[in-house]
Structure 1
Amino acid sequence: MKVNVQWQGDLLFKGVTEQGHELKLDGNKQTAATPMEAILVAAASCSSVDVVSILQKSRQQFSDVQVEVTGERADAVPAVFTDIHLHFKVTGSDVSEKQVERAVNLSADKYCSVAIMLSSSVNITHSFEVIAE
């Protein structure tokens, strides 16, 4: 895996993946996500891929999956994340709470490379709710 990051002026950067996908990051928080916000997005996206895939395989009737992520940072420099919490909201009809819990736990413990990598230095917690349609 390889990416290229190029300075775009001020504190704006453009990342380009090997497949040509672009991602902009802004250290000034003006025109794009900050690098630290991108880490939270990456953790939530990675976990969501797992949760959606597992729920699909278990034939759950869901129409939406959202993740609210909160990150707490250290007060000193470097201001690393100390705690990250991912709260999954699964909307659907007849969605089993047991299946959602299983999917979230499997992602957290076995599949999500981003969260598992971060968990060696960050306290990562998960919760979920099922919203009936």
Structure 2
Amino acid sequence: MKDVLGFHADLEYGKLDVAGDVAHGFRPYQLLVASIAVCSGGVLRKVLTKMRMEFSDITIKADAERNKEAADRVEKITVHFTITGKNLSESKVEKALVLTRKNCSMVQSVIGSIEVEETFELIEED
């Protein structure tokens, strides 16, 4: 039998390698965290656009807290958005994040099993 180090999926955009060892592909929990982060970011972008907020960039940092004693279960995902733009309103972004949580299918899929926390910072452009 051939030495198997992971799995791959042939998808529309190309090959996705997944393995328990990061040297051979994305780890499954990384894909879970990335799915939550990117889904939230896409929804947030749409919501901010509809709110007519002027932003030029949104960057996302996501981290997972895992429980080593329960099969390394993902217990919490923190998604931090850095939003760059003009005349940014903290209260509007807070409202936008409520709508983002409500409309992100990936966040909605894990509610009740994984805690998801969204935080943000605003960088004002000249």
Pairing 1:42–2:18 present: no
Matching residue within 13, 17, 28 for 2:7: 13
Task: Give the structure-2-normalised TM-score.
Answer: 0.86
The separation in 1 between residues aligned to 2:104 and 2:5, in whole angstroms, is 30
Q: Secondary structure at 1:76's aligned position in 2?
A: helix
> What residue number does 1:99 align with?
92
Which structure 1 residue ranges, 4+ long, deviate > 6 Å from structure 2?
none
For the aligned residues, what is the CA RMSD?
1.9
Whether the 8 Å CA contact 2:5–2:24 is kept in 1: the answer is no
State the identity %: 28
> What residue number does 1:4 align with?
none
Structure 2, unmatched stretches of 5+, are none
| Structure 1 pair 22–100 and aligned structure 2 pair: CA distance change class (3 A) | farther
The separation in 1 between residues aligned to 2:25 and 2:51, in whole angstroms, is 36
The separation in 1 between residues aligned to 2:123 and 2:13, in whole angstroms, is 37
The separation in 1 between residues aligned to 2:21 and 2:29, in whole angstroms, is 12
The structure where helix makes up a greater share of residues is 2
The separation in 1 between residues aligned to 2:105 and 2:10, in whole angstroms, is 20
The separation in 1 between residues aligned to 2:92 and 2:114, in whole angstroms, is 26
Whether the 8 Å CA contact 1:60–1:95 is kept in 2: the answer is yes
Structure 1, unmatched stretches of 5+, are 1-8
> What residue number does 1:3 align with?
none
Q: Secondary structure at 2:79's aligned position in 1?
A: strand
Q: Secondary structure at 2:116's aligned position in 1?
A: strand
Q: CA deviation at 1:73?
A: 0.6
Q: Residue by residue, what CA displacement relative to the aligned partner does 1:54-107 show, whole Å, maximum 9, x if unpaired?
A: 111111111111121111111124211111111111111112222221121111
Letter in structure 2 aligned against 1:85 = T
Aligned residues: 124
> What residue number does 2:106 align with?
114
Matching residue within 80, 86, 111 for 1:87: 80
Q: CA deviation at 1:10?
A: 2.9
